[in-house]
Structure 1
């Protein structure tokens, strides 16, 4: 051993190893906490992407000043939402009240129907066991947890989103400045591609949500299901969440249809499945044909992995997060590999 090298005793080595382990643990905990906040930032980026997209559309169609178009984008969005809830709010609120009144009795009716068969009795017995209930409560409390509470999260997302909307280039240039000089051009190009892909994905998703809400509403009205309007709105909104959203939206519709009989419930379930098949195989591929294709299984894996750590925002934002990751991998690894 060289004479200048410092020697450590066994106790000192233990303390050093313990310190390194503690530092790693603290860093992992910080990453976990920070990741939840970063998801809120991502949601704010999506809000800004929407506002900037509407602003760009107005600018292309009218030729007006960018600041005026941006102001109109934000203001018109809030005005249209206000008018929608003012015009439809009374009807939606009435149906929501009916839905909350009917659901408990509908669930009990469904339980009694399932309980009529031996297999159904076993399923209900297993599902209502204390162990299953405790696991379900723990899972739901984890999934539906949030960083600052739902209202707090929405305030943070909207507040940061408006700042991003007003001056996105300032924040983008700040990120680029963190990159070494040799990689600044590449970083700027990658950020532009990430923004473009997020914009395409969001545009396609909003269109798909609208189509799902319209098709579901028409189908439920034709079948004669009560409260079809609020059920269609729920289906459209929850379609933003891949895989799990449509299943969650189908549950109250099927339960309400059960009040009119198993045949009606079957038609409603078939309607929801048909709408999702159309959305998944025809609508989304057409409107997002130039977007980075995200494999459905990869979305489910991301949702399952992220949800226990970050709650509901992980489920909602798993797809745009995957879009960002895939763009980064393509631009920073795959393209460079083939160029090299």
Structure 2
């Protein structure tokens, strides 16, 4: 009698998926990819907030180092003076300038519609101006949507500021906790390398902060003096806007000129030309003379690479991405240099020798 039972090791035939099952599998995969992309985008914004908080902590510790060197105090009193003194100076400035700025903001809000109408009238007098007005009218919806996306953030502007400030204070109070916690996950043979990377990043971020802070102060002072001489209204507000937008390289300077030039057009065309020159000269002096001297320790980033990083970061994360594009790019360049470029040069020393003998193009 023959055994008709199926052996245990015999593979079972694969069950074919129906068309509907294949469709649902595809929909599930696409939905999973969309969820992963959305989570990655939110996580990227969170990483940017961590970077912003790190910059705040770097500022407090850098100022604490200066106080410690000048006064010979201990670390704790120097840091208390660094944090407390910074908030005290900010409070005093707001106390003395807050009322004046509030009045000028109200004045600017009241005169801005008339200023825009006057600028449109001036532009309509020339063929080029008519083309510009036509383009703005045709694309006003797109411009509004772009601006709305630019200022959009994961948790809202106030929420992001709240999170960044508290993270910055936590990083300032106990930086060793987070640094040591990060170093725990690093393999023992790589700890020295990552300590070198962290030190380079620290020096680079300090250089960027020094240049930005000095640029903000100088732009505010120079524009306040120049616009006051020209008799432009709302001088403090215009200078403050330009100083804050100085944090955004390349694009910030152009955007800051718009309200000042529009107000100058209400006076006369010659005044608008002079005000434009004041903006250009002040931005040029600060960007090409003062900032490079202060930021001599930061990586020399190519201008084209900086603009590309700003466009990409602005598309991904709006205003916060554009503000942090330069320090983030500096960190990426340092990581690439330490983890990839130097390793290649060590493994292939002939590349360094050959690179020195490459003839320059005529």
1:146 alignment partner, SS class:
coil
What's the offset of the Cα at 1:122?
A: 2.8
> Does residue 313 in structure 1 map to residue 316 in structure 2?
no
Partner of residue 76, structure 2: 67
Matched, 1:134 2:137: no
> 1:6 & 1:204 partners in 2: Cα distance?
70
* Structure 1: stretches of 5+ with no match in the other structure: none
Tell me the residue number matched to 2:338: 331
In the other structure, the counterpart of 1:290 is 297
Q: How does 1:1-340 map to 2 (within 5 A)?
A: 11=17, 23-129=32-138, 132-340=139-347
Cα drift, residue 120 of structure 1: 2.0
SS at match of 1:334: helix
Moved more, 223-232 or 151-160: 223-232
Give the C-alpha shift of residue 121 in structure 1: 2.2
CA contact (8 A) 2:201 2:334 kept: yes
Offset, 1:192: 1.8
CA contact (8 A) 1:197 1:292 kept: yes
Give the distance between the partners of 1:52 and 1:186, measured in 2 at CA: 23
Range that drifts further, 156-165 or 330-339: 330-339
Cα separation, 1, equivalents of 2:10 and 2:89: 74
Aligned-residue offset at 1:83: 0.4
- TM-score, structure 1 normalization: 0.92
Cα deviation for residue 271 of structure 1 reads 1.1
2:239 aligns to what SS in structure 1? Answer: helix
Deviations, residues 246-299 of structure 1 (Å, cap 9, x unaligned): 112111110111111010011111111111221222111111122101122212
Larger radius of gyration: 2
In 1, Cα distance between the equivalents of 2:32 and 2:219?
Answer: 49
* CA-to-aligned-CA distance 1:95-135 (integer Å, 9 cap, x gap): 11111111110000000111122332232123112xx1221
> Contact 2:50 / 2:164 at 8 angstroms: preserved in 1?
yes
CA offset at residue 7 of structure 1? Answer: 7.9
CA displacement, residues 283-323 of structure 1 (integer Å, 9 cap, x when unaligned):
11111122101122212111211212212101111111111
RMSD: 2.1
The residue matched to 2:233 in structure 1 has which SS? coil
**Alpha-carbon distance in 2 for matches of 1:49, 1:270:** 35
Query: Is the Cα–Cα contact under 8 Å of residues 53 and 168 in structure 2 kept in the other structure?
Result: yes
Asked whether the 8 Å contact 1:216–1:272 carries over to 2, the reply is: yes
Q: Cα distance, 1:26 vs. partner?
A: 3.4
**CA shift in 2, pair 1:6/1:71, >3 Å:** farther
Which structure 2 segments of 5+ residues have no match? Answer: 1-8, 348-362
How far 1:4 moved relative to its partner? 9.8
